[in-house]
């Protein structure tokens, strides 16, 4: 979480980038250890009460219709049925990212295309 002019916000694009940067490595590590699929991925955000979802690219805006009113947000469990590609993981994870955006008053994440691939821009 970050703050700008006293407003706490979650930088949505950076949050997505971080998850998608580390997730394949974690899953590849589990595969190397012969951990059988399916796997469950769970993401929680802590200490977010009063924060907004920062939406943007080059400049941030705080256009979240609803600030987070709880100190934690548990995103839905995501089942990874089998090891795959980065694109497979993006498709699988979309419901968690949509739930984050839903919690901030948006219909869905702006960073996925119609094929459920993460494009990193709105």
Running DSSP on this structure, what letter comes out for residue 3?
E
- pLDDT class of 48 with cuts at 50, 70, 90: very high
Quickly count: other Cβ atoms within 10 Å of residue 16's Cβ: 19
What average pLDDT does the segment 37-50 reach? 95
Q: Are 104 and 52 in contact (CB under 8 A)?
A: yes
Rounded to whole angstroms, the Cα distance separating 107 from 3 reads 24
pLDDT digits over 16-30, tens only?
999 999 999 999 999
Distance from CA of residue 11 to its chain's centroid? 10
Identify the CA nearest to 55 among candidates 11, 5, 111, 116.
11
Identify the CA nearest to 119 among candidates 16, 25, 47.
16
pLDDT digits over 104-115, tens only?
988 999 999 999
């Amino acid at each position: 979480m970050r703050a700008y002019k006293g407003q706490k916000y979650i930088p949505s694009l950076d949050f997505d980038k971080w998850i998608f940067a580390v997730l394949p490595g974690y899953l590849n590590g589990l595969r190397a250890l012969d951990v059988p699929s399916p796997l469950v991925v769970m993401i929680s955000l802590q200490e977010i009460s009063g924060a907004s979802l920062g939406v943007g690219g080059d400049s941030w805006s705080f256009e979240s219709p609803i600030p987070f009113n709880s100190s934690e947000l548990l995103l839905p469990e995501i089942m990874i049925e089998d090891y795959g590609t980065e694109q497979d993981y993006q498709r699988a994870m979309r419901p968690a990212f949509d739930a984050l955006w839903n919690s901030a008053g948006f219909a869905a994440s702006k960073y996925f295309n119609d094929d459920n691939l993460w494009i990193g821009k709105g």
